[in-house]
Amino acid sequence: MKQLVLVFIGGGFGSVLRFTIGKFLNSPEDGIPYGTFLANILGSLLIGIILGLAAKHEALSQNYTLLLATGFCGGFTTFSAFAYENHVFLKAGDLITFAVYTIGSFVIGFLAVFGGMELAKLW
């Protein structure tokens, strides 16, 4: 039960932060979801750092990992919004934005996870 509460609390904080970032950075004028992109990239970097620290000499307990990686990062990042935004680009025929957003999100997201894992090795 304690683990469920930790994931719930972390997810709540992550979701509120993602909502706040999206509210300020997602652009209704040009339709570019900068907030979603930023949340997904930062979340990828954070999960790399968190899981890197957890793996390194067990620097983080399982409870902290659940709170931060599963809860916070899970609530902060959003694949569903990413998928919907790409649907909107495709429906509007905006293939260039679709391609740049999709490829950029995947490539930079993976690099952020790997970078986070490498940063964790420094601590």
Q: Provide the residue range defining the domain that includes 10.
A: 2-122
Binning pLDDT at 50, 70 and 90, where does residue 75 land? very high
The token pair at 95 is 């293939």
Q: Is 74 annotated as a binding residue?
A: yes
Q: How far apart are CA 29 and CA 31, in angstroms?
A: 6
Amino acid 2: pLDDT: 96
Binning pLDDT at 50, 70 and 90, where does residue 116 land? very high
This prediction has a pTM of: 0.92
Q: How many domains does the chain have?
A: 1
Phi, psi of 26 (to 5 degrees): -70, 130
Q: For residue range 8-45, list pLDDT tens digits in order.
A: 999 999 999 999 999 999 987 888 899 999 999 999 99
The stretches of 1-123 forming alpha helices (DSSP H) are 2-25, 34-55, 62-65, 74-76, 79-91, 95-122
Q: How far apart are CA 81 and CA 31, in angstroms?
A: 13
Q: How far apart are CA 93 and CA 40, in angstroms?
A: 24
